Amino acid sequence: KKLGIALVGLGGYATNQLAPALLQTRNIELRGIVTGTPSKIPVWVEKYKIPEKNIYNYETFDRIADNKDIDVVYIVLPNSMHAEFTIRGAKAGKHVICEKPMAVSVKEGQAMIDACKQAGKQLAIGYRLHYDPFHLEMMRLTREKVFGAVKIVEASDGFRAGDPAQWRLKHALSGGGPLMDVGIYAIQGARYTVGEEPLAVTAQEFPKTMPEKFVDVEESLSWQLYFPSGAIASSFSTYAAGVNRLYAAAEKGWYEVNNAFGYGGQVGRTSKGPMEIKHINQQAAHMDGVAMSIINNTPNIVPGEEGLRDMKVIEAIYASIKAGGKKIQIG
């Protein structure tokens, strides 16, 4: 029997990625929507056969507690709304998948973990790459030390941000710039490609080339993570141009994924040759994987704690920038 999921927030990611992926999932299916924009409802009703009783807005959301069709709520709202809706979802007795970054602070992230624990419900973060075969291969090459121990990782993620009015450029809604939005993939990539947890960070923000656009958030930044073994990861994140790469230099060779963090199109190589790996639908694999963990009552592989580790790194990066690049220990 499939689980039922409700998407909370019907923006770009929910509309163009998650809902279509839910037509391919085996363990979970789309049964409800939560939206603040009534004009979106007819399209969703027609396309996904959502019954009237499974449609909520942000005010009526808590009534989902009484809806047996819905087992999981998936929070796909602007970052500053993740904590509130995750906690409300848990209090309504639902398992929660929450998009990245899990929150805009460590404090909020911890409150989300606590709320789900208290409700006896799973919390999973939208870390789709933990189900992507190219990234699983990077993790395996590290874990099995196929090229020896990893010494250096380069992990960068950025894109050219369009619409100057979008919530991503408003600190109150995003909690920060490219670091919050896509730099988090570089942090993730560095952590699982080194295979350790970073101890400290140094970070630098670069001068804005479009200061009228990036009033509220950083435009470009870089940081360096220092790991217990002595491995170092160097990363860049930006809203100025496309950069998208995960590269590991180990004692006896290298391995990498280009177009690393996109929804598809990964190109993997090692110093021995190309990675012969098929692309999959990451979103379907992610939601099916989390659903399987819920069904079997086993921990999911992208829990709130995983999101919280990244929030700690993010706070340390911003603290280092604020302190003029000083080395900051990660809490």
Chain residues that interact with ligand NAD, rule: CB under 6 A: 9-14, 36-37, 76-79, 99-100, 126, 128, 167, 173, 181
Q: Mind giving me the DSSP string for 280-303?
A: --HHHHHHHHHHHHHHHT---SSB
**Partner residues linked to 158 by β-bridges:** 238, 243
User: Of 141 and 286, which has the nearer Cβ to ligand NAD?
Assistant: 286
Is 263 among the residues known to form the active site? Answer: no
Given the complex with ligand NAD, which of 95 and 100 has the nearer CB atom? 100
- With CB atoms as reference, the residue minimizing the distance to ligand NAD is 11
Give me the least distance between CB of 13 and ligand NAD, in Å please. Answer: 3
Is residue 185 flagged as an active site residue?
yes
The residue type found at 17 is Q
**Which is catalytic among the residues 74, 94, 100, 312?**
100
Buried b (16+ CB within 10 A) or exposed e, 109-119: bbbbbebbeeb
Minimum CB–partner distance for residue 77 and ligand NAD (Å): 5
Task: Give least dist CB 287 to ligand NAD, A.
Answer: 11
The amino acid sitting at 178 is P
Contact between residue 273 and residue 11 where contact means Cβ atoms under 8 Å apart: no
Min dist. Cβ of residue 231 to ligand NAD (A): 26
Among all chains, which residue has been given the structure tokens 């990234």?
A: 135
Is 139:268 a contact under the CB 8 Å cutoff? no
Q: What angle do CA 141, 145, 149 make, to 5 degrees?
A: 115
Between 13 and 254, name the residue whose CB sits nearer to ligand NAD: 13
Q: Are 21 and 281 in contact (CB under 8 A)?
A: yes
Smaller CB separation from ligand NAD, 94 or 168? 168
Among 131, 185, 239, 255, the one annotated catalytic = 185
Catalytic residue positions, numbered: 100, 185
